[in-house]
Amino acid sequence: MFRKIAENKLLNAIINIVEGIIIFILVVLIGLTLIQRFSNSGSFFGYRIYTVASDSMLPLYGTGDTLLVKRVDVKEIKQGDAISYLGEADINKNMIITHRVENIEATEDGLKFHTKGIANHIEDPIVDADQILGKVIYRFKILSVFGKITTNMTTLLIFLIVPISILVAIEVIRMIAEAKKKAEAKKLEMLKRHSDDDDDDDDDED
């Protein structure tokens, strides 16, 4: 069976395509996870990528949506913009939150931002200018599909374990097929040697 699989060109082509798709999915998932972790601690030329972790911004953004956030001068931020900021209040301390700007207040201590999730009924604690990481400028449609996977640990594990298991199975099948092919080649070689030896014996008897 394994030899037939190894010699079937169409089946091998399909396996190669499946293998390529799986590797692509794994690379994107791992890459997206690493990018998010990097964005939590720094930016790349002023840009960060975040994945929405809740439905507080529905219907604009939902859980798993992957957003491109650009660092801007806080004076450029307007009412209605979606911004990402680092929470400092007890209820959201050290959390990166992406909510909409409801109002901007100019005070002696600088600009104060009133923000709220679109789907939330309660406004966030006041956001200072130095908490703001940037303004949302784009939602990645394709990456958002993968983002919905990375925001759920169970789903993420399934999408990592299953493809890896398939890759391992493919490699095992290839190894078994190759081993059987070598064993059969060795067997044929031995049979040929025996046949040659028998021919030599017949020649000696003559």
Residue 199 has pLDDT above 60, yes or no: no
pLDDT value of position 205: 54
DSSP H or E segment with residue 180: helix 153-205
DSSP H or E segment with residue 14: helix 9-41
pLDDT value of position 122: 92
pLDDT value of position 35: 74
Going from the N-terminus, what domains does the chain have, and what CATH number goes with each?
A: 2-26+158-205 (no CATH), 42-146 (2.10.109.10)
Residue 6 has pLDDT above 90, yes or no: no
Nearest to 127 by CA among 116, 138, 139, 135: 116
pLDDT value of position 87: 92
pLDDT tens-place string over residues 57-94: 999 999 989 999 999 999 999 999 999 999 998 888 88
Residue 5 has pLDDT above 60, yes or no: no
Cα 84 to Cα 76: distance, rounded to the nearest angstrom: 14
pTM: 0.63
Structure tokens at 92: 């959201």
